[in-house]
């Protein structure tokens, strides 16, 4: 029986329904500061550390403000101090997002068929179908987020330029 249990183990097995994970998923930036050191080291057992790394939003809440927990990695990217993920400063283009998503879906689709035809437990088949649905949905989510951030950046830049313009006029007079 224990052998069978081991066979069914997935990445999130055991922590899928745990209260800790539900709390983390609800408010990761709010919960993570309580279980990490100032430098971003996660406290707790192996299971907790893995869970936090998977859920990490790369920033934490400090009062009413969000504090980004990233440092330059020396290659022009940022590295998260909590989970170690590397974050690129520029968003991918819609074309790039589409081609990356397509490749990812190809891989998941293969697993969908294999899991079903191997007769793996329905929880595995379901996990893969849910992953497929989530990745498919994420293409749109990513593009919306990228657009929102780029728009915010544009507004910021325009404001700066306007102020600079005023300053220039001031210095000429
Ligand atoms: Zn992170």
Ligand 1 geometric centre to CA of 83 (Å):
4
**What pLDDT score does 39 carry?**
85
Token pair belonging to 152: 């915010």
Tens digit of each residue's pLDDT (9 = 90 or more) over 18-30: 787 888 899 999 9
User: Measured on CA atoms in the order 118, 122, 127, 131, is the torsion positive or negative?
Assistant: positive
Ligand 1 geometric centre to CA of 139 (Å):
20
| Torsion (CA) 47, 51, 53, 59 in degrees, nearest 10 | -130
Ligand 1 geometric centre to CA of 68 (Å):
9
Ligand 1 geometric centre to CA of 86 (Å):
8
Ligand 1 geometric centre to CA of 82 (Å):
5
Average pLDDT over residues 65-76: 93
Mean of per-residue pLDDT scores for the chain: 85
**What pLDDT score does 19 carry?**
80
Tens digit of each residue's pLDDT (9 = 90 or more) over 85-127: 999 989 999 999 999 999 999 999 999 999 999 999 999 999 9
């Amino acid at each position: 029986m224990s052998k069978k249990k081991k066979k069914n183990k997935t990445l999130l097995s055991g922590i899928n329904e745990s209260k800790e994970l539900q709390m983390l998923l609800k408010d990761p930036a709010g919960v993570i500061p309580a279980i990490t050191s100032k430098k971003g080291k996660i406290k707790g057992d192996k299971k907790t550390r893995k869970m936090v790394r998977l859920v990490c939003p790369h920033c934490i809440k400090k009062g009413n403000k969000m504090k980004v927990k990233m440092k330059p990695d020396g290659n022009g990217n940022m590295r998260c101090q909590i989970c170690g993920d590397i974050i690129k400063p520029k968003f991918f283009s819609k074309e790039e997002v589409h081609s990356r998503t397509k490749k990812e879906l190809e891989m998941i689709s293969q697993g969908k068929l294999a899991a079903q035809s191997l007769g793996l437990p329905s929880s595995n088949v379901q996990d893969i179908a849910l992953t497929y649905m989530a990745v498919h949905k994420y293409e749109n989510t990513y593009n919306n987020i990228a657009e929102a951030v780029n728009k915010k950046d544009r507004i910021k830049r325009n404001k700066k330029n306007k102020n600079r313009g005023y300053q220039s006029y001031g210095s000429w007079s």
